[in-house]
Amino acid sequence: MTTYFGNNKFKFGLFGINCSGGCVLSEAPERWNADWDDVVKLAQMADEAGVEFVLPIARWRGLGESFVWEKSFETFTQAAALGALTKNLGMFVTAHVPLITPAFAAKAIATIDHVTKGRAGLNIVCGWNADEFAMHGVTMDGDKRYEQGLDWYKVFMKLIGGGPDFDWDSEFYHFRNMTSNPLPVQKPHPPIMSAGSSSGGQAFAAQASDIMFTTMHNYDTTRDTVTRLRALAAEHGRRPDVYVQSLVVCRPTRKEAEEYYHYFAAEHADAESLAYFKRQKDATLAKSTRSGDAAADRATVARMRETGERYPGNFPGMNPIIGTPDDIVDEMTKMHGIGLNGCALVFLNYLNELPYFVQEAMPRLERAGLREKFVMPAGRGD
Non-local (6+) Cβ contacts of 77 within 8 A are none
Interaction between residue 12 and ligand FMN (CB under 6 A):
no
Interaction between residue 195 and ligand FMN (CB under 6 A):
yes
Distance CA 100, CA 174 (A): 15
Nearer to ligand FMN, 245 or 341 (CB): 245
Q: Of the candidates 14, 24, 39, 57, which one interacts with ligand FMN according to CB under 6 A?
A: 57
Choose one: 106-114, 122-130, 169-177, 219-227; the region binding ligand FMN (CB under 6 A): 122-130
β-bridge mates for residue 346, sequence order = 247
Distance CA 56, CA 324 (A): 27
Interaction between residue 53 and ligand FMN (CB under 6 A):
no
Its sign, for the CA torsion 353, 359, 363, 364, is negative
| Residue number closest to ligand FMN, CB atom | 201
Question: Between residue 211 and residue 230, which ones bind ligand FMN under the rule CB under 6 A?
Answer: 213
How many residues contact ligand FMN, by CB under 6 A? Answer: 16
Q: Of the candidates 45, 54, 125, 361, which one interacts with ligand FMN according to CB under 6 A?
A: 125
Interaction between residue 344 and ligand FMN (CB under 6 A):
yes
Question: Between residue 271 and residue 290, which ones bind ligand FMN under the rule CB under 6 A?
Answer: none
Q: Of the candidates 42, 58, 91, 97, which one interacts with ligand FMN according to CB under 6 A?
A: 58
Q: Of the candidates 8, 209, 300, 324, which one interacts with ligand FMN according to CB under 6 A?
A: 300
* Least distance (Å) between residue 215 CB and ligand FMN: 7
Interaction between residue 93 and ligand FMN (CB under 6 A):
no
* Least distance (Å) between residue 60 CB and ligand FMN: 9
Q: Of the candidates 22, 64, 190, 201, which one interacts with ligand FMN according to CB under 6 A?
A: 201
Residues at the site binding ligand FMN, with contacts judged by CB under 6 A: 57-58, 94, 123, 125, 127-128, 195-198, 201, 213, 245, 300, 344
